[in-house]
Amino acid sequence: MQRIAVVLMVALLAGCHSYRRMESPAPARGAQLRVELTDQGSVDITSQVGPRAANIFGRLTESSGDSLALAVTGVERRSGITEIWQGERVSLGRSSIASISRQAISWRRTSLVLAAGVAAYFLLAGIGGWEG
């Protein structure tokens, strides 16, 4: 029974996250965001993040009418490669931004992972692989 509790806790803590496009232009400070760049925006911030950036991932630290500042956790290149960052501050002009998406837990995906974990546990316990 303890192992089931561990599986449940891991699934809930890990959770499956997705990004949901925001319609309002003012996300709350501290929000985990994915900022999709325009083609010109990618060129404009080359000096901050390097060439051919498509998406910037990070925590919103500041927001004004004409810019956002993020503590960057990742940069996805147009090639599809994502680089991990350590919270470096990057400022983005609103004209550089094609869209903003906020990170949210995907309850559907988390439930599926949880169900698969519980099913695997019972399958292994049933064939003698584990004792609960």
Instruction: Please write the tens of the pLDDT for every residue from 12-63.
Output: 555 666 666 766 656 788 989 999 999 999 999 999 999 999 999 999 999 8
Amino acid at residue number 84: I
Pair of tokens at residue 67: 């810019």
Instruction: Please write the tens of the pLDDT for every residue from 80-119.
Output: 999 999 999 999 999 999 999 987 666 676 667 667 767 7
Alpha carbon 19 to its chain's center: 7
> CA–CA separation, 13 vs 124, rounded Å?
23
For the full predicted model, state whether its pTM sits above 0.85. no
Residue 118: burial class (beta carbons within 10 Å; 0-12, 13-18, 19+): middle
Nearest to 116 by CA among 108, 105, 106: 108
> CA–CA separation, 55 vs 9, rounded Å?
31
